[in-house]
Structure 1
């Protein structure tokens, strides 16, 4: 799907929520979705960044975006159920959910992982995704063909030394996706995961500070796989792990 050619209106009349939409892959995806006709819900913790993405989408002259300031590290189950109620009331359905927000934590030996780091990474990468998906399933079910996209990693199905809690969290992410895909196999809800690969983002720079970022793919260059899974062209695909590179 790396060569997928998205039609100009492939996401018309769709409502898509993207977490971590303030920068990196989430920002690029939000703008691409809006350009393809979707109403985009921008979820993130930094209002200033979300407003900047909102302004870029406004310039496209397409559907107006919505901003949801929410810190996944401290959000409660009530926050997610309130969000689901708001989406249902304002949009009537949710066609796409992209779990893009992730926390890297600290790379190092397993025995030296701090409990606070363990808790923080699992909260954002696993628990928040569980709570958000759980709350939004009834709204996703209102769409004729909904799609949920999780973000995994190269260390998400083969552990790697020193990637500790991040790797473990991505194993959990893939397990969550597979469980949901199997549970909703005979329904209009689909669940898949994307491994973005080495991409020019802030998280990648934190993990590999000495790396030459100019050699990496930009977020824009890996968009075809995301747009494929969000479009109806992939409506038969569920329970899959796709590589964007």
Structure 2
């Protein structure tokens, strides 16, 4: 295995399953020290076992993204230990209900926006100074086609992911004079539990697996990436203009 992320410190949210798990695993296998954040302790422990068996190192952070005070403390803890952060992958997200906008309950709306939008904003606040200390800070936010298509009944995804896209691009434009590159990626349909919940009748065997998707996204985290403030469409393999 090529250790092309040797010496890099990477934080991955939603690292206990799906695409986040595989991105974290592949980063760890390729030399990065992975800070793996998720609610599910069992999934994090499985990830730790896999990375350590490949000779890598992890720091597990079992945390609910709506614990905003803990997200603030996370940046300070990373600084204490490493003084920097090289990679931030904002993978964690919540689907929410599929419903006409007028039928979404305030509780569901607030819960999804708390996880998909507010938590990522709190993480930006916490991690921005650390990424600026890296020689090549890289941040990647996972988005969705629904951010632009505004598909009927997918309002929570459309609204929250469009907000994430605007937030990431704003951060990128504010960071043009730094070493940071901040981008978005639409992984496309993937064989995950989240996808199965949203599309229960779909033939999942026709979809790429999370490890295949992760392998396609990992190059976006390399120091030689020059794009910033843009969206990468994994299916087409092309950068999409904002």
User: Structure 1 length as normaliser, TM-score?
Assistant: 0.93
Listed as ranges, the matches of 1:173-192 within 5 Å are 173-192=164-183
Q: 1:8 aligns with which of 2, 7, 10?
A: 2
Q: Where does residue 33 of structure 2 map in the other structure?
A: 39
Unaligned runs of 5+ in 2: 236-242
Helix, strand or coil: the match of 2:224? Answer: helix
Helix, strand or coil: the match of 2:148? Answer: coil
Q: Where does residue 65 of structure 2 map in the other structure?
A: 72
Kept in 2, the 8 Å contact 1:11–1:230? The answer is no
Helix, strand or coil: the match of 1:233? Answer: coil
Q: Where does residue 100 of structure 2 map in the other structure?
A: 109
Helix, strand or coil: the match of 1:65? Answer: strand
Helix, strand or coil: the match of 1:117? Answer: helix
Give the RMSD, CA atoms, in angstroms: 1.1
Q: Where does residue 241 of structure 1 map in the other structure?
A: 231
Q: Where does residue 192 of structure 2 map in the other structure?
A: 201
Higher relative contact order (CA 8 A, sep 6+): 1
Deviation (angstroms), 1:82: 1.4
Is it true that 1:219 corresponds to 2:210 in the alignment? yes
Q: Where does residue 44 of structure 2 map in the other structure?
A: 50
Cα distance in 2 between the residues matched to 1:241 and 1:224: 17
Cα distance in 1 between the residues matched to 2:86 and 2:214: 18
Q: Where does residue 26 of structure 1 map in the other structure?
A: 20
Kept in 1, the 8 Å contact 2:181–2:229? The answer is yes
- The number of residue pairs the alignment matches comes to 235
Per-residue deviation, residues 106-127 of structure 1 (Å, max 9, x unmatched): 0021111111110000000000
Unaligned runs of 5+ in 1: 1-6
Cα distance in 2 between the residues matched to 1:98 and 1:239: 14
Q: 1:144 aligns with which of 135, 146, 163?
A: 135
Deviation (angstroms), 1:81: 2.4
Is it true that 1:132 corresponds to 2:126 in the alignment? no
Cα distance in 1 between the residues matched to 2:195 and 2:108: 18
Cα distance in 2 between the residues matched to 1:190 and 1:134: 16
Cα distance in 1 between the residues matched to 2:109 and 2:87: 29
Q: Where does residue 162 of structure 2 map in the other structure?
A: 171
Deviation (angstroms), 1:24: 0.4
